[in-house]
Amino acid sequence: MKPPYNITDKILHLITQIATQLGEISATHLHKPSTELRKQNRVKTIQASLEIEGNTLSTEQITALLENKRVIGPKKDILEVRNAIDIYESITTFEPTSLQDFLDAHGMLMNDLIADAGELRKKSVGIVKGEEIASRGLGTPPAENLRFLIQDLFDYLKNDAAPILIKSCVVHCELEFIHPFMDGNGRMGRFWQTLILMQEYPIFEFLPFETIIKKRQEDYYTVLSICDKQGNSTVFIEFMLEAINEALQESLQFQNRIFTQKDRIDYFTKTFKKKEFTRKDYCAIFKTISSATASRDLKYGVDNQLIEKIGDKRNTKYTVVR
């Protein structure tokens, strides 16, 4: 059954804005961020998603854990981060419409944090916001209905003709309503939305839209409460599309700040996949620079042994030194 929601003018406007930015990202090959940028964005994603749930570790501490370094901090917080690192590094192995994968993902995320990690809850629960009970369980479905409800939601995800941007928001919101686990529902909803989106748009694997949710954490809970009362996901879809749109804007602004020769060459050598390339290929990536600037960049790359020059004049080609 299709979950209830309406397509508003605001949703249509945001979808158009997001599509435009995704097109720009694809055209400029920014959907393939450098290794360092991927690492930074993953850290931001993990830090923001867990901080929403009360985790106290900083981005610096999470970076250290990602690099297998020793970190001093609350044992529970460190374990939460280690689990999150594991699940995000395994994100490409999950199928977003598989109930078993959904349970396996929760098992990884909550491993050693709760006794029933990877298992659907077996009793009614209250939804906790910080230390306050936001709902006393009156809106959460009984445990015996959970498996059917999640499978029905995944059938909607698989078969409905709505854009994936909308369906990902609906699934995130509905998972909050269903509340399938005793703990970890919020972080699973955010993780599963990322998984859904990256199936169609690879940039979302490393787009930390959770940072926008963290900045608007009170609005996030308020919107979920409104949707709970109204019985549909419309307001949540608008909220999440705004967060995605803002995250894409920030990503474009950051990645387009590649001003120096070294920055451009480093970016190009880490992302270009073909064996050989020309100055024209280089200019196709950096559309705002002149041919003369491109030539100076390429000379810098040759002089610093980042690329090799083959041929001369019109026949000049280059290869990336791996």
Residue 159 has pLDDT above 90, yes or no: yes
Query: 191 with 48, same domain?
Result: yes
Using pLDDT thresholds of 50, 70 and 90, give the confidence band for residue 118: very high
Q: What is the CATH number of the domain that holds 277?
A: 1.10.10.10
What is the model's pLDDT at position 135? 43
Query: 133 with 280, same domain?
Result: no
Query: 101 with 250, same domain?
Result: yes
Which of 208, 231, 255 delimits the end of a domain?
255
Q: Do 12 and 238 contact (CB within 8 A), yes or no? A: no
Record the pTM.
0.77
Query: 158 with 19, same domain?
Result: yes
Instruction: Tell me how crowded residue 293 is: count the other CB atoms within 10 A of its CB.
Output: 15
What is the model's pLDDT at position 267? 77
The contacts found for 254-260 with CB under 8 angstroms, 24 or more apart, are 255/30, 255/33, 255/37, 256/28, 256/30, 258/286
pLDDT digits (tens, 9 = 90+) for 64-93: 999 999 999 999 999 999 999 999 999 999
Query: 144 with 284, same domain?
Result: no
Average pLDDT over residues 159-172: 97
Show the domain range for 106.
Answer: 9-255
In angstroms, rounded to a whole number, what is the distance separating the alpha carbons of residues 129 and 179?
A: 13
Beta bridge partners of 88: none
Residue 181 has pLDDT above 90, yes or no: yes
- Residue 159 burial by CB count (10 A; 0-12/13-18/19+): exposed, middle or buried? exposed
Find the angle CA(61)-CA(63)-CA(65) to the nearest 5 degrees. Answer: 70
226 part of a folded domain: yes
Which of 221, 255, 289 delimits the end of a domain?
255
Residue 312 has pLDDT above 90, yes or no: no
Taking alpha carbons only, the member of 116, 44, 126, 35 closest to residue 84 is: 44
Average pLDDT over residues 35-46: 82
Q: Where are the beta strands (DSSP E) in the chain?
A: 127-129, 132-135, 276-277, 307-310, 317-320
28 compared with 321, residue with greater pLDDT: 321
128 part of a folded domain: yes
What is the model's pLDDT at position 270? 77
Q: What is the CATH number of the domain that holds 223?
A: 1.10.3290.10
Query: 46 with 159, same domain?
Result: yes
What is the model's pLDDT at position 271? 74
Query: 35 with 87, same domain?
Result: yes
What's phi and psi for 77, nearest 5 deg? Answer: -65, -40
10 compared with 253, residue with greater pLDDT: 10
2 part of a folded domain: no
Query: 200 with 216, same domain?
Result: yes
Query: 193 with 106, same domain?
Result: yes
Query: 186 with 73, same domain?
Result: yes
What is the model's pLDDT at position 133? 37
1 part of a folded domain: no
181 part of a folded domain: yes
pLDDT digits (tens, 9 = 90+) for 233-263: 999 999 999 999 998 888 776 655 546 788 7
In angstroms, rounded to a whole number, what is the distance separating the alpha carbons of residues 175 and 178?
A: 5
Q: What's the domain count of the chain?
A: 2
Using pLDDT thresholds of 50, 70 and 90, give the confidence band for residue 137: very low
Residue 196 has pLDDT above 80, yes or no: yes
Average pLDDT over residues 164-189: 95
Average pLDDT over residues 196-225: 91
In angstroms, rounded to a whole number, what is the distance separating the alpha carbons of residues 128 and 133?
A: 4
Instruction: Tell me how crowded residue 315 is: count the other CB atoms within 10 A of its CB.
Output: 8
Using pLDDT thresholds of 50, 70 and 90, give the confidence band for residue 164: very high
100 part of a folded domain: yes
Q: What is the largest CA-CA distance in the chain?
A: 75
207 compared with 87, residue with greater pLDDT: 87
pLDDT digits (tens, 9 = 90+) for 45-55: 999 999 999 99
Using pLDDT thresholds of 50, 70 and 90, give the confidence band for residue 138: very low
Which of 233, 255, 277 delimits the end of a domain?
255
What is the model's pLDDT at position 30? 54
3 part of a folded domain: no
Query: 242 with 286, same domain?
Result: no
Counting Cα atoms < 13 Å in the Cβ hemisphere of 284 gives 9
Residue 129 has pLDDT above 60, yes or no: no
Q: Do 270 and 35 contact (CB within 8 A), yes or no? A: yes
The DSSP element (H or E) to which 12 belongs, if any, is helix 9-27
What is the model's pLDDT at position 131? 38
Residue partners of 164: CB distance under 8 A and separation at least 6: 196, 197, 199, 200, 201
Using pLDDT thresholds of 50, 70 and 90, give the confidence band for residue 12: very high
Query: 288 with 166, same domain?
Result: no
